[in-house]
Amino acid sequence: MIKKRMQDAMNDQIQHEMASAYLYLAMAADFHAKGLDGMAQWMKVQTQEEMVHAMRFFAHIDERNGRVELKALMAPQKEWTSPLAAFEAAYKHEQFITGRIDELAKIAREENDNAALMMLQWFVNEQIEEEANVSKVIDLLKLVGDSGQGLLMADRELGARVFVPPPAGAAAAGTPV
């Protein structure tokens, strides 16, 4: 059985993961509106990943006889001044999520919740990847600068990203996606 403190913190994390999905979907909509369909595709994949993350927490609480409590989401920002500004906002957001995962791991250690610690280790590793992926795009966009041709090439490259769903049962077991 999951302890209340851990359950409450994980319910908060479900909200953060869903808010992440909502933010990235808003970025996808903004990119579509600006004719940057490749960057929109990149953000749609990110949206799907965040939904999987939320469901990992949902499954963990549920499987440990806890109570999932969904919380309200605020409307995300809907426009960014440039692709670079959007990806910089995404990077800042991923750093926030990394801090939240670190806090969850701290709570799990304090509560001596080894099951949560094992599940959270996947998220610790995932956040390294999440920050690195966004950072690479930022570096690319800085390299491109004001070049319209460069932006179009970057858009095409980012559009190649596809979502790979996790294997059956992976969301609950904490196995890598």
In angstroms, what CA-CA distances link 38 with 28, 30, 44? 9, 12, 10
Q: How confident is the model at residue 147 (pLDDT cuts 50, 70, 90)?
A: very high
Distance of alpha carbon 97 from alpha carbon 15, whole angstroms: 11
**Rounded to 10 degrees, what is the CA torsion of 150, 151, 157, 161?**
160
pLDDT digits (tens, 9 = 90+) for 121-144: 999 999 999 999 999 999 999 999
Distance of alpha carbon 100 from alpha carbon 24, whole angstroms: 18
Position 167 scores a pLDDT of: 75
Position 166 scores a pLDDT of: 79
Position 177 scores a pLDDT of: 33
Position 165 scores a pLDDT of: 86
Position 170 scores a pLDDT of: 53
Quote helix, strand, coil % in the chain, to nearest 5: 75, 0, 25
Distance of alpha carbon 14 from alpha carbon 10, whole angstroms: 6
Domains assigned to the chain: 4-160 (1.20.1260.10)
Q: How confident is the model at residue 46 (pLDDT cuts 50, 70, 90)?
A: very high
Q: Give the mean pLDDT of the chain.
A: 94
Calculate mean pLDDT across residues 141-168: 92
pLDDT digits (tens, 9 = 90+) for 74-131: 999 999 999 999 999 999 999 999 999 999 999 999 999 999 999 999 999 999 999 9
Whole-structure pTM value: 0.91
Instruction: Give the residue from 127, 132, 140, 163 showing the smallest Cα distance to 83.
Output: 140
* Residue 152, helix vs strand vs coil: helix
Q: How confident is the model at residue 169 (pLDDT cuts 50, 70, 90)?
A: low
Return the amino acid letter for 16.
H
